[in-house]
Structure 1
Amino acid sequence: MKRIAIAAAILALGIAAVTAQGGDPIAQRKEAMKAVGQQTGLGARMARGQAPFDLAQAQRIFATYAEAAGRYGSLFPDNSQTGGETAALPAIWANKADFEARIAKWGQDARTEGAKVTDLDTFRAAFGAVTRNCGSCHETYRRPQS
């Protein structure tokens, strides 16, 4: 009987883990965007001289962007257009190819520009180039935040 209870508990944990991985795409994209926002805030402070430049941290910023870009494609399925207080505009699904191309460009730019960073000056140039991608996508595909 004890073995059955242990097996049931292990099975329940496994199901919970699979469910969490395949869970709510709106919540997952909000979490990914939160991580991007935190890294962007730190990058902006470094670029403005409000935080010391740290090469390892600069690389983490670009790695976070590239990782998020790689995940975003799967976080906008058709059934996630509404609910969860999403800020995603219907234009994402109406112009899916353009949206996905912008995300892919952002990820590629994060990898390419991030690889060029060696000091504060190269960080500023790379950070500006990559974050411009964020603005262009938000203007078209994200509901303005009040």
Structure 2
Amino acid sequence: MLRSISLAIAGALTAASVAGFAAHAQDAASGTAGTDDPIKTRQTIMESFGASAKVGGGMIKGEIPYNPAVGQLVLATLDAGAHTFGHYFPEGSDTGDTEASPKIWQDMEGFHAKIGDLQEATAAAVKAKPQDLDAFKATFGKVAKNCKSCHEDYRVEKD
């Protein structure tokens, strides 16, 4: 039973990851990375972040049994997104259906510094390969802290 739950969670997380990065791969292959619809692309990447956070948080809260392979998939998904996300904030993508704060374009250097912090945290988390729940809590917590920090500074909550 535990194995089937873990496999179902891993499958759902993988599906979210694939969806999140498919647009990036398609744009990169065509040589138009980020030019098709950067808002939609970054929203899709953020959806994969959300799916990962939901699974990671569920394991931390005890709602989902901890599984090292699933934990590693959560961290790998966050790491892939962290290393992709920043490419989708070109000039002119600050308006429309977006929760991105105008502050991003006013402080692009600071925004990219936050992304750099997130990339460091996710890379370290993946490298740590947490094998038990306590180790996962520590690594996931550092990543979540970076996510929260960026959201506080560079996200506008929509009604």
Which TM-score band applies after superposition, normalised by the shorter structure?
0.7 to 0.9
Question: How far apart are the structure 2 equivalents of 1:54 and 1:20?
Answer: 38
Who is 2:84 aligned against?
71
Taking structure 1 as the reference length, what is the TM-score of the superposition?
Answer: 0.82
Gaps of 5+ in 1: 1-13
Deviations 1:60-84 (A, max 9, x none): 111111111111221000120111x
Instruction: Kindly indicate whether residue 68 of structure 2 is the aligned counterpart of residue 61 of structure 1.
Output: no
CA RMSD of aligned residues (A): 2.0
Who is 1:98 aligned against?
110
Deviations 1:69-128 (A, max 9, x none): 111221000120111x10001100111111111111111111102322121100011111
Aligned length: 131
- 1:1-146 mapped onto 2 (5 Å cutoff): 18=30, 22-83=35-96, 85-116=97-128, 117-146=130-159
Question: How far apart are the structure 1 equivalents of 2:44 and 2:67?
Answer: 25
Asked whether the equivalents of residues 79 and 126 of structure 2 are also in contact (C-alpha less than 8 Å), the reply is: no
Bigger Rg, structure 1 or 2: 1
Following superposition, the deviation at residue 19 of structure 1 comes to 8.5
SS at 1:27 equivalent: helix
Q: Percent identity?
A: 35
More displaced stretch, 101-110 vs 26-35: 101-110
Asked whether the equivalents of residues 53 and 74 of structure 2 are also in contact (C-alpha less than 8 Å), the reply is: yes
